[in-house]
């Protein structure tokens, strides 16, 4: 979504004739544009785009504006020309990791005309003969390299937009470090233009240099037997998370995630986050999911951030502070998990008030006082309760026996 907080708001819904033309452009510049796109450029009073794109279509009769930093600083200049003739240049498909989405948040679609070109992903598939629907599509442009981690599955094909010319080498090192050194990386540079180049290297023997900053990396994942592959199931082994023992154990975590019932694009509050395992696994369920992890201890709060990065650069915002005071002013959640502190009456009240209608609240308790509080809440608000007992096999002298963990009482309630 566009950032509308800087004195910028969507235009009136009273539609007028299309005045904003968004043109997808490739590295071949004018040569790859349709007659309609060329006509729009010739007729434009204002053409907005990156300096590289403006150079590709020069000369132009109308006024030009290169994207500033941040890009949304140019939006007032665009919307001020409403009813005129404005062209915005974008890379390939403007609605696939492009500026089209931001513009559509400001300008009604009926007032826009979009003339797309093939995206970088489409061009890469055309060069490699890959089925795009079978590939994972990832953008590492302006994002953490670790965003690719959840997609590193044996046999997977991944198309990753690079941040710069150093991204392919960094990606190769990441693969090798995770036991996927035999993976193949195809670096496709400046696709569609005169500087186009395609080169291939193995992750553990990456020797490509002089890589163009405008590149995409196609990865064919080959995983060794001991490769560190993030499982697709909930309840990751505890050793996936750096922790000091303050962690919801794998079996309990799996049951808890099922109770929280993550939906695509939803926000979770993980209150008393510990290692962050609940919020992190929530975000692993869908790439659009987000979590806010509230943790009072500074060392643990920092650990949550490291765990979120290591498992995929996930959208986990860490709030260092003590709940319920630290909850004030946060975005209302679709679900809340309280892993500790429920004995404080203000804790539930703050979470319940903030929870969106239809949202789920799940509390785990292991103390007698916590169980008593859950029993009282259950009597007042309803919901469901269950007690979860886990036993793990352990050594008993020279033999083995079952060692029970502390039983967990879990209460789940849905807000009307």
Mind giving me the DSSP string for 137-173? EEE-TTS-GGGGGGG--TT-EEEEE-SSTTHHHHHHH
- DSSP annotation of 407 reads P
Task: Please give the sequence-ordered ranges of beta strands (E in DSSP) within 67-223, or none if there are none.
Answer: 86-91, 112-115, 136-139, 157-161, 184-189, 197-202, 215-220
For residues 88 and 69, give the distance between their C-alpha atoms in angstroms, rounded to a whole number: 16
Output the pLDDT for position 413. 98
3-state secondary structure of 401: strand
Residue with tokens 């198309």: 159
What pLDDT is attached to residue 237?
96
321 vs 338: CA distance, rounded Å: 14
Q: Which residues pair with 86 in a beta bridge?
A: 20, 46
With H, G, I as helix, E, B as strand and everything else as coil, classify residue 256: helix
* Contact call for residues 362 and 337 (beta carbons, < 8 A): yes
Whole-prediction pTM: 0.90
Bridge partners, 22 (sequence order): 88, 114
Q: Which DSSP letter does residue 329 get?
A: T
Given a cut of 70, the residues of the chain with pLDDT beneath it are 1-9, 12-15
- The Cα 322–Cα 35 span in angstroms is 61
pLDDT digits (tens, 9 = 90+) for 276-326: 999 999 999 999 999 999 999 999 999 999 999 999 999 999 999 999 999
Kindly state the DSSP code that residue 325 receives in the 8-state scheme. G
Query: Are the CB atoms for 88 and 78 separated by under 8 Å?
Result: yes
pLDDT confidence of residue 119: 96
**pLDDT score at 5:** 39
Tokens, residue 220: 């064919």
User: What's the confidence (pLDDT) of residue 396?
Assistant: 93
């Amino acid at each position: 979504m566009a950032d509308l907080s800087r004195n910028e708001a969507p235009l009136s819904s009273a539609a007028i004739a299309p005045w904003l033309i968004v043109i997808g452009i490739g590295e071949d510049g004018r040569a790859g544009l349709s007659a309609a796109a060329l006509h729009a450029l010739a007729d434009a009073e204002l053409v907005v785009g990156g300096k590289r794109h403006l150079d590709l279509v020069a000369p132009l009769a109308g006024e030009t504006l290169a994207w500033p930093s941040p890009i949304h600083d140019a939006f007032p200049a665009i919307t001020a020309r409403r009813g005129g003739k404005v062209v915005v240049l974008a890379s390939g498909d403007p609605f696939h990791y492009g500026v089209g989405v931001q513009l559509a948040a400001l300008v009604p679609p009926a007032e826009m005309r979009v003339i797309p070109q093939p995206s970088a992903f489409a061009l890469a598939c055309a060069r490699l003969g890959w089925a795009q629907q079978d590939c994972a599509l990832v953008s590492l442009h302006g994002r953490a390299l670790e965003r690719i981690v959840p997609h590193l599955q044996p046999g997977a094909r991944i198309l990753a937009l690079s941040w710069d010319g150093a991204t392919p080498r960094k990606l190769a090192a990441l693969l090798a470090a995770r036991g996927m050194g035999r993976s193949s990386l195809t670096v496709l540079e400046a696709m569609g233009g005169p500087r186009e180049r395609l080169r291939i290297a193995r992750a553990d023997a990456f020797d490509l240099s002089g890589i163009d900053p405008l590149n995409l990396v196609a990865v064919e994942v080959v995983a060794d037997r001991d490769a560190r592959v993030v499982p697709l199931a909930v309840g990751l082994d505890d050793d996936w998370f750096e922790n000091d023992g303050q962690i919801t154990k794998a079996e309990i975590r799996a049951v808890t995630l099922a109770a929280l019932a993550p939906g695509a694009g939803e926000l979770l509050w993980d209150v008393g986050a510990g290692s962050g395992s609940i919020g992190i696994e929530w975000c692993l369920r869908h790439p659009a999911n987000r979590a806010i992890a509230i943790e009072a201890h500074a060392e643990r709060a920092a650990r949550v951030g490291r765990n979120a990065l290591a498992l995929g650069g996930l959208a986990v915002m860490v709030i260092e502070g003590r709940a319920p005071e630290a909850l004030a002013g946060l975005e209302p959640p679709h679900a809340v998990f309280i892993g500790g502190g429920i004995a404080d009456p203000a804790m539930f009240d703050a979470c319940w008030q903030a929870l969106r209608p239809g949202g789920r609240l799940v509390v785990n308790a292991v103390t007698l006082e916590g169980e008593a509080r859950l029993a009282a809440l259950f009597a007042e608000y309803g919901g469901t309760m269950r007690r979860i007992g886990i036993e793990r096999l352990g050594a008993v002298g020279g033999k083995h026996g079952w060692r029970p963990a502390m039983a967990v009482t879990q209460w789940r309630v849905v807000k009307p």
